């Protein structure tokens, strides 16, 4: 997998995104000339998919001293248990203490998104799932969500930057604006076919003007073998996409001689709805999932110091000393 590096913003490096008490602590320790080597452990609140360590590693590579530092972690995309130590950093406190907020937040959000994606992928039982949650979040984090979704098992994602981070090809066909502007679903897919590179799959949106099955047959007759598939995105106002609708579209396409045309669905899908479609045997060839992934709650991470200059310590309620976890690999 060839990846584009994450961007570590200057605001992160200077500590503007950190909890202010960390800045104040570093100021105090610097003035007191105190800078012990500490071992800090990070663990999640809940079970899930571990994600965000690649971005965290890039940050740590910029701030930790080359000598006297160790970083141990689970691998990106691994399953993790609740309260399992997923990351351990041993280094002078002043080199990384300021970034406790950033590291916890990165791991918490990324792991939450990856876990939600994994739920959808498992529910789809082998049918590809594409993450399309960018429109539900601030653009500063859309690529991170898409990356985490791919780590969670999604076949692809909708944003170019997210796909670059994950090392995949972005996935997407057309918005409703194209057929609306062109005035017809057939004209939309024909213009798509004329102007898009051959490696881009020809997938037509078929719920804009008329019955979904009718539009599916119309675009199939227009493009024939060049048509890869159709996408059903029926709005809630019209009852949404149902398993019965997918079955009817499949039957009518087959009867029309278009067995090669695949059926993709989108619009409010989550893990439970995908499970229902799977249980009902809906002949879906691909799911698009948006807000279920992008809006999932973070899997909160906690950071604790367990050693200071080799001496076991801990706050009340925690066990002093390094917490053994043979699943951790040294990554730095």
DSSP state of 72: E
User: Under the phi-then-psi rule, with left for phi > 0, alpha for psi from -120 to 50, and beta for the rest, what region is 31?
Assistant: alpha
- pLDDT digits over 106-149, tens only? 999 999 999 999 999 999 999 999 999 999 999 999 999 999 99
Compute CA 241 distance to the chain's CA centroid, rounded to the nearest angstrom. Answer: 24
- pLDDT digits over 292-331, tens only? 999 999 999 999 999 999 999 999 999 999 999 999 999 9
Q: Are the beta carbons of 89 and 40 closer than 8 angstroms?
A: yes
Would you mind telling me the total number of residues written for the chain in this entry? 332
Q: Are the beta carbons of 277 and 246 closer than 8 angstroms?
A: yes
Q: Could you say which residues of the chain have pLDDT below 50?
A: 1-2
Phi and psi at residue 98, to the nearest 5°: -65, -20
Burial bucket for residue 186 (CB in 10 Å: 0-12, 13-18, 19+): buried
pLDDT value at residue 3:
56
Alpha-carbon distance 125 to 121, whole Å?
Answer: 7
> How many other CB atoms sit within 10 Å of the CB of residue 234?
18
Alpha-carbon distance 54 to 189, whole Å?
Answer: 39
Alpha-carbon distance 131 to 120, whole Å?
Answer: 10
Phi and psi at residue 43, to the nearest 5°: -140, 155
pLDDT value at residue 4:
63
pLDDT value at residue 1:
44
pLDDT value at residue 139:
96
- CB within 8 A of 54, min separation 6: which ones? 3, 6, 76
Alpha-carbon distance 175 to 100, whole Å?
Answer: 40
Q: Where are the alpha helices (DSSP H) in the chain?
A: 10-13, 20-31, 53-63, 93-96, 100-124, 139-151, 160-166, 177-182, 185-195, 212-223, 243-255, 271-279, 291-294
Tokens 């076949």 map to which residue? Answer: 155
**Among 305, 304, 301, 297, residue whose Cα is nearest residue 105:** 301
Identify the structural domains of the chain with CATH numbers, from first to last: 10-111+297-330 (3.20.140.10), 116-294 (3.20.20.70)
């Amino acid at each position: 997998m060839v990846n584009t590096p994450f961007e570590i913003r200057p605001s992160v490096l200077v500590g503007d995104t950190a909890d202010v008490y960390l800045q104040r602590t570093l100021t105090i320790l610097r003035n007191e000339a105190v800078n012990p080597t500490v071992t800090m452990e990070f663990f999640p609140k809940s079970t899930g998919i571990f994600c965000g360590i690649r971005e965290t590693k890039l940050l740590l590579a910029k701030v930790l001293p080359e000598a006297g530092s160790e970083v141990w972690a689970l691998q990106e995309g691994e399953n993790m248990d609740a309260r399992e130590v997923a990351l351990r950093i041993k280094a002078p406190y002043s080199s990384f203490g300021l970034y406790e907020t950033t590291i916890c937040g990165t791991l918490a959000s990324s792991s939450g998104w990856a876990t939600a994606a994994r739920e959808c992928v498992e529910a789809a039982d082998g049918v590809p799932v594409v993450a399309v949650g960018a429109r539900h979040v601030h653009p500063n984090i859309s690529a991170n969500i898409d990356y985490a979704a791919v780590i969670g098992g999604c076949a692809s994602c909708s944003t170019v930057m997210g796909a670059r981070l994950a090392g995949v090809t972005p996935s997407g066909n057309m918005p409703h604006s194209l057929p609306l502007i062109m005035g017809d679903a057939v004209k939309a897919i024909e213009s798509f076919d004329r102007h898009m590179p051959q490696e881009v799959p020809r997938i037509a949106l078929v719920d804009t003007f008329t019955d979904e099955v009718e539009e599916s047959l119309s675009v199939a007759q227009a493009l024939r073998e060049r048509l890869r598939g159709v996408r059903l995105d029926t709005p809630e106002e019209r009852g949404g996409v149902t398993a019965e609708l997918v079955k009817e579209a499949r039957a009518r396409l087959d009867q029309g001689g278009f067995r090669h045309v695949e059926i993709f669905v989108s619009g409010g899908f989550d893990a439970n709805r995908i499970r229902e479609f799977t249980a009902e045997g809906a002949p879906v060839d691909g799911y698009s999932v948006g807000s279920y992934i992008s809006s999932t709650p973070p899997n909160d991470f906690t950071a604790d110091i367990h050693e200071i200059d080799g001496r076991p310590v801990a706050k009340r309620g925690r066990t002093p000393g390094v917490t053994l976890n043979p699943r951790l690999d040294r990554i730095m």
